[in-house]
Structure 1
């Protein structure tokens, strides 16, 4: 399901909702344990998991370059919120009847040509996370990303219309 995108100031807030048939603990582990995290979002590496701690973003382009992003909000097994460029990314997990709800919110400011790429990336990564939780691992599916990139490019353009 495509993210809900709303204008906010000079940017946007995108909200991805996923219902997962897994426990909060299992999903939290996939978000915060590096051996699992690298299988669905290989750029991220948890360095200091706490409020005001940090997450490393690795470029994974052979350069060895990376940078740290500050954890803005943290509640064990419930909230992980960190800097993301000029915006932020926030994961919220809550128990549901048949598993849990995972909400990813992203604040993007300013909106530019990279915005739809970023949204498509998170969309595909969340699909990869869901697959991983179900016991399936796959390399990043560029064909899926390209499909979602077109969808998000159109969605972002509609906001200006």
Structure 2
């Protein structure tokens, strides 16, 4: 059972709201070893929570990879083609969630609803139940994700 927390809808700063969101993801998503938020307009890591201390250059690489995954030239081209073929006239990005499995970890990248230019990432052990990963991450974003 989760405890009620500040949802970030008051007068707190964006930095505080992002920090609350990242901490909630880290604590509430099963098998989570790290969570973070990336500003897609700058490519900067806004906040991070991990079970280990990682060198800053590793965290910077995560932010850069997130930017490429969602806004790389080919990805944007594919989004535009799919939106055109489906008659979608929205400026909103087509890809909202991306799951990446590595040898030992599962990475879930999700655009926030309140800010299309912010992507959160949740890194879990590969043994995570993917359905629970999606369900819990979406729940936290819905409850706390207003940034």
TM range (shorter): 0.3 to 0.5
Identify the structure with the greater strand proportion.
Answer: 1
Q: TM-score, normalised by structure 2?
A: 0.33
Query: Higher RCO, 1 or 2 (CA under 8 Å, sep at least 6)?
Result: 2
Return the structure number with greater helix share. 2
